[in-house]
Amino acid sequence: MTPAFASSFRLGLVFLVFVAGFAGIGARLYYLQVVASEPLARIAESNRKQVIVQKAKRGNIVDRRGNLLAMDRTFIELGVDPQVIRAEDREKWPELAAMIDLPLTELEEKMKTRTAAGGSDFADDVRLVRWRKLHDGLDEPTYERIRELGIRGIYGNRTFRRVYPSGELAAHVVGYANREGRGVIGVEHAMDFYLRGEDGWMESERDGRRRELMQFRSREVAATDGLSIELTLDSMVQHVVEQELRRIVDEFSPRGATVVVSEPGTGNILGMANVPTFDLNRYHVADIAHQRNLAVTDLLEPGSTFKVVPLAAALEEGIIAEDRVFDCSASVVEYRGRRLRLPRDHRDFGELSVEDIVRQSSNRGVAYMGLLLGERRLHRYASDFGFGRTTGFPLIGERRGVLHPVRDWDGLTITRMPMGHAVSATPLQIHFAMGALANGGVLMEPRIIRRAFGEGDETVFSLPPQARRRVVSRQTAERVSAMLVLAAAPGGTAPEARIPGYEVAGKTGTTQKIVDGRYSNRHHVASFSGYFPASDPKVVITVIVDEPRSAGPSYGGVVAAPSFRRIGVELIPYLGIEPTRPARELAQRGGYR
């Protein structure tokens, strides 16, 4: 076998071809990599590289039993590319129009419009339309049905959107997040930092069809979903409260109304609602005034519900006892060398014991207590009960109310403040002042947020109940409670608040509103704040109705006290509150009324 012959010339030729080839490649590489490297690299990178943002899912808001109040859901923004539609799909258009609830003529117009004005000054400048929006909130099943139609050029983009499955329920507490995913009011705003989570991102490459090439993912930071928030609110209690508010609206057509229900021992708010209200899923069309949480943003003179403050203070200081008698027929008294005119009562009284003063809600009676206490002590107790200070309610918009320092008081304040004039407060302040008495003299901080939790129900942090301060001793609180039971008993100002089988303690309030700088005889705020069972309170309920319109007088005992009773009766079986009187008595009375 002879070895193959290879001449030097041929070898040289092959070698030259190789060298020339590699030299050409080398020269091109030099040009691409050195001379034109920067702009080319930029172009290549921008064509291939992409940074994909991974949106974090906003956390849910649930009530204390885990019922969803707010959550993220995907919706589809449906559109059409008019450049690629086919004539043979035309017969499917009516079906599509029906599915997206769009008139067929409008759909046809959108499908056929292929060009639009280009935006320059030239009249004939046009651009091709590649996307016309057909619907911006389709749900998944409808989108699936549309896809099954197989109409070319119809496609959708998924977007997360906040939904509130219960609509109006607890609207002022839950609040809402806007289209950008930012909490605007309520818990959505207060806990926005925890709810919204952290968006993730990844660097990747894409192919000619702009599809991601996952194998070229280089850096990736995973999205951290937001935490979910559990409230102290109970959907059922909230529903009862809102149902009662609807009834108040039907019956009295008020300017506004607020109801708050809480547990005295923990300060847990179980229900908080106002009218007017709004639907959280349609916040964008709601009147901004309806979005105010009146329970914390609106100030009113507490009226007679404030009388518990001088009463508790005078008992605590040992100035009075239950059987101490005051002459409530006198209209003028001597105080520190001055003659002071006492406020009028709603009817003429003679001598009244402290118990009777509470039962009859005598203005003159509590004015005497104010005089016995003096300015400084009255101011201190009012402040300790939470008036003139924020309650610590975590949601936006809380006002502190008005409790003037003693140096700014005029000569009449010492007799007017005990009856709830010359001081203004939010419904929540009135509620928690009453709650302090229900809680043995300890003022609690309103608690609406119980905890934040992540996936798998794992608690990340919790907000335990917070006691703010002891206002009066347990004994004083119990003595006041015993007297407040008289107010909600026959002969008191609020017999309508009575619940058979339960001792109800509470206080009515009927406040004249100041209109044009004067107390008006036609504009009232009717209120009732109370709790039961008085011996071991389980719930505190406050009902405040602003400017009720009724044929009769708009007293708190007539307007607000029946609402207290109805709410209480609904809550008894739901919260399992035990009667303090035997069930036999209940049966004789025909059950709850």
| Contact residues for other proteins, defined by CB under 8 A | 3-6, 11, 67-69, 71-74, 139-140, 158, 163, 165-167, 169, 212-215, 217, 235-236, 239, 264-267, 439-440, 442, 444, 464-467, 474, 478, 482, 485, 501, 503, 534-536, 570, 572-574, 576, 578-580, 583, 586-587, 591-592
Sign, CA torsion 87/88/92/94? positive
Give Cβ neighbours of residue 445 (< 8 Å, ≥ 6 apart).
267, 391, 392, 465, 466, 467, 468
Shortest reach from residue 534's CB to other proteins, in Å = 7
Smallest gap, in angstroms, from Cβ of residue 387 to other proteins?
Answer: 19
Least separation, in Å, of the C-beta of 314 and other proteins?
Answer: 20
- Omega before 533 within 30 of 0, i.e. cis: yes
Rounded to whole angstroms, the Cα distance separating 113 from 127 reads: 11
Answer for the pair 19, 187: CB distance below 8 angstroms, yes or no: no
* Minimum distance of other proteins from residue 331's CB (angstroms): 34
Helix H, strand E, coil C: the string for 162-196 is EECCCCCCCHHHHCCECCCCCECCHHHHHCHHHHH
Least Cα distance to 263 among 538, 481, 530, 579 occurs for 538
Structure tokens at 221: 């930071």
Q: Which is nearer to other proteins, 128 or 583 (CB)?
A: 583
- C-beta closer to other proteins: residue 62 or 328: 62
Tokens 């009927």, residue? Answer: 510
Report whether 134 contacts 58 (CB < 8 A).
no
- Cβ 236 to other proteins shortest distance, Å: 6
Cα dihedral 576→580→583→589 (10° resolution): -110
Which residue's CB is nearer to other proteins, number 3 or number 552? 3
> Which CB, 167 or 343, lies closer to other proteins?
167
Compute the least distance from the CB of residue 83 to other proteins, in Å: 26
Residue given tokens 């003028």 in the structure block:
332
**Which residue, 213 or 460, has its beta carbon nearer to other proteins?**
213
Nearest approach in angstroms of CB 360 to other proteins is 18
d(CA 246, CA 384): 34
Closer residue to other proteins (CB): 68 or 325 = 68
* Tokens of residue 18, six digits: 């190789």
Backbone angles phi, psi at 43, to 5 degrees: -65, -45
Token digits of residue 406: 């003693």
- How many angstroms separate the CA atoms of 125 and 129, rounded? 13
Given the complex with other proteins, which of 265 and 276 has the nearer CB atom?
265
Residue (72 or 398) nearer to other proteins, CB: 72
Q: How far apart are alpha carbons 268 and 467 in whole angstroms?
A: 11
Q: Do residues 460 and 227 make contact, with C-beta atoms less than 8 angstroms apart?
A: yes
* Smallest separation, CB 273 to other proteins (Å): 13
Q: Which is nearer to other proteins, 202 or 559 (CB)?
A: 202
Q: Give me the least distance between CB of 268 and other proteins, in Å please.
A: 9
Q: What kind and span of H or E run contains 101?
A: none
Q: Which residue has the tokens 């040289």?
A: 12
Q: What are phi and psi of 444, to 5 degrees?
A: -100, 160
Contacts of 321 (CB under 8 A, 6+ apart): 315, 354
Nearest distance in Å: CB 433, other proteins: 15
* CB 85 to other proteins: min, Å: 26
Give the residue with the Cβ less far from other proteins, 188 or 345. Answer: 188
CB nearer to other proteins: pick between 10 and 522: 10
CA distance 385 to 475: 16
